[in-house]
Structure 1
Amino acid sequence: MFDTSKRITRRRSSAGPRPPVRPQRPREGFTGPRSGGLRPTFLALRDHGKVYVADLPRLSDGQLAHVAKEAQEVLESLRRRLEELESQVSLSEAEQDTRIRASTKRDVTERFIGAIQEEQELRRSNPALRAAAGESLARAFLEVARHRLPGATFDSLLQEALAACGPDGSEESTQSEAPVSVGSPAPLLRRLDGPVVVAAAEERPRALPVVLTPAPEPAEAIG
């Protein structure tokens, strides 16, 4: 009798030693723990609402410190909540979902705080500020104000300063900075239209002439 077990085994082995692999989701955007994980896009805070990582360079130092403080409070609250859930012996399905969401938000908050610390360190070691300090005090002050003030406030003050330094402002500053000698009243005479006043003073004696005529001689009597 023909043995079919070997033939069946031979056919199965010809299909390949491994079963087909099921297709999985593409993981192109996934970065493992070695690269630090995905960077958060934003963090929802109580006082500031959604704060995006891309907006951190536009915040002033005071705003950045306040955002960091609020994010740290959120992180501490999440850690306390996770400790409470982990201390329980058994968790319900809703509590397990809460633990997963809290863990995810904790990781996002930690990365967000790391982004804030990177921005603060970058500002402390700002090469542009060092270069501006070596150039002039005004340039250094401008660079410091650019980081201390919010973007809209800095732009508004800069436009106001540029408007004050326009053509009219430059003429006034030139006149105020021009040296005037003590014994030379020429600028005051020019400002008060001196030549016209002097000409009128010179013509005043000619306007009222004094004419002296000899007294008439008495007529001789005719005899």
Structure 2
Amino acid sequence: MISPVIFIFSLLLSTSHAAVQDFCVADLEAPESPAGYACKKPAAVTVNDFVFSGLGIPGDTSNIIKAGVTTAFASDFPGVNGLGISLARADIAVGGVIPFHTHPGGSEVLLVVEGTIFAGFVSSANDVYTQTLQKGDIMVFPQGLLHFQINSGSSTAVGFVSFSSATPGLQLLPYALFKNDLPTDIIAATTFLDEDQIMKLKAVLGGTG
């Protein structure tokens, strides 16, 4: 009669060669789908697919929002494809803001490493949650909810952000409303904003109509 120890050991040996797909490095030459990128062939994968150095470089804040965001999503960092994680860096100059936006594909955690950031989000019940964050503080923003970050200090603020998706997506509310060709009267009817103000915002952000 075979002892239980020998039986378990033999079972482990018999399954040790089962095929396991350790990773799915993004093939950026292939089209992206809602499920992510197709996997690069293992023979074409290198260590460089698992390393990303962009977050060590400050983002460009010389723009209308005085903020720069550097992403390490699957499209930038192929090694995270399919792993349910990604990162970003946010640099916000004095007086800068990352306007109301959403990430439809993932939740966000913000870690402040420099400066002071006033941040918040709005729930689907229209409850507002805001907090002034200092160096070392973190705040979570649930998936799909509108949220924002403002530099509320006297020096540049820097935050590192993690996401629960390799492709969290991004939609900035001001751009969604005023940086397209949606007719001004439609925007006015659906937002109750004044048409003159809508036209001014379109002129600033590059919208038409």
TM range (shorter): under 0.3
Between Structure 1 and Structure 2, which shows a larger proportion of strand residues? 2
Between Structure 1 and Structure 2, which shows a larger proportion of helix residues? 1
TM-score normalised over the length of structure 2: 0.18
User: Radius of gyration: which is bigger?
Assistant: 1
